[in-house]
Amino acid sequence: MGVVVGNNEAMTSAPSSLPRRPGMTVPLPGHLHTHRERLNELADMGYTDIWSAESDGADAFTPLAMAAAWEPRLRLGTAIVPAYTRSPACFAQSVATLADAAPGRFAIGIGSSSNVIVQRWNGIPFEEPYKKVRDVVRFLNDALTGEKVTKEYDTFNIDGFRLGIRPETKPQILVAALREGMLRLAAREADGAIINWLSAEDVTRVAEVVHTAAKGTPKEIVARIFVCPSENKDVVRAAARFAIAAYLNVPVYADFHAWLGRGDELQGMWTNWKAGDRKAALAAIPDEVVDALIVHGSPEYCRDRIRQYFDNGVTTSTLAMMPFDPELNYWDAVKSLSPAAHK
């Protein structure tokens, strides 16, 4: 395919036969209006994609809309937009608008998110997440045809909606997935899966579920990979434990890691967290879990570790540079892991 990835070597195809694409998580540090030159730099370094997220900062669409105008070399994706936090018609309008602004280079990633973001922060009941994501995927596929949609889905009804904007190219639709149900949904009804908070070794199991359900149809697997290219091991591990505890005590992620077989290693954290002893919970996270879930060490080691994600089934990376070492410069880290770094 002649595409390069985080190991900075000419690449072969991933198991799905799709090209491997090295991407970066956005928004970048600093105010959004200052990012134009930095996005240009990402493309110059050989990064092919940028992927946004949506929790308590910038929304998922605005940084990508700015990038659509500023840097046409970058593919744009959301990883992810919660299925609950926009009404179906509004969701379809946002998707169609960005697809029209960046024809052929936008992918919409949809996920259930979590009870924290959906229910605690947005006041929306976090109910039937599988059905909700499935219904939003089906509705977007229906709406993006340009036909009038009048249909009863399991979690909402649509009566006579027709998109007033028709993008030249239908955007890819991907599903954020952890366990088997969502992974199969991503393979059967979408263009692929978005995964995160897993090790390179875990990818093998996840990818197998996707490819089995896809029955031979190539599916993209996008992985958010948490990276801190620093050899200050103790500092990185200490800071990383806070991030791991913040996520892996959320029920959907706890269930995911139990499914992956990490239950015994994390039981101490879960028990102490439920008891309200945060300090003991952090101390109970083994170094082996930190090292599996957070890519850290020298840039050379990190590049090799990222390559393992691709070798095990990931087709697209979206690196999330984690500020676990205060002495690490963000842009030096981005450059050290870029496809251009070792050409």
* Local confidence band at 314 (pLDDT 50, 70, 90 cut-offs): very high
Higher pLDDT, 97 or 1: 97
Under 8 Å between Cβ of 186 and 219:
yes
pLDDT exceeds 90 at position 14: no
Q: Tens digits of per-residue pLDDT, 24-48? A: 999 999 999 999 999 999 999 999 9
Query: Mean pLDDT in the chain?
Result: 94
3-state SS, residue 222: strand
Under 8 Å between Cβ of 110 and 81:
yes
What is the rounded CA–CA span in Å between residue 104 and residue 169?
A: 5
Domains and CATH numbers, the chain: 21-224 (3.20.20.30)
Q: Which two tokens stand for residue 342?
A: 């070792």
* Local confidence band at 178 (pLDDT 50, 70, 90 cut-offs): very high
pLDDT confidence of residue 287: 98
pLDDT confidence of residue 9: 36
Q: Which two tokens stand for residue 277?
A: 């002893």
pLDDT confidence of residue 17: 80
* Local confidence band at 330 (pLDDT 50, 70, 90 cut-offs): very high
- Nearest Cα neighbor of 134 from 183, 93, 191, 189 is 189
CA–centroid distance for 339 within its chain:
20
- Nearest Cα neighbor of 257 from 249, 321, 246, 314 is 249
pLDDT exceeds 60 at position 316: yes
pLDDT confidence of residue 16: 55
Mean pLDDT of 101-113: 98
- Nearest Cα neighbor of 112 from 96, 91, 126 is 126
pLDDT confidence of residue 343: 63
Q: Tens digits of per-residue pLDDT, 207-225? A: 999 999 999 999 999 999 9
pLDDT exceeds 80 at position 264: yes
Gyration radius from the chain CA atoms: 20
Q: Which two tokens stand for residue 76?
A: 């744009």
- Nearest Cα neighbor of 91 from 137, 50, 125, 157 is 137
List CB contacts of 44: < 8 A, sequence separation 6 or more: 340
What is the rounded CA–CA span in Å between residue 279 and residue 240?
A: 14
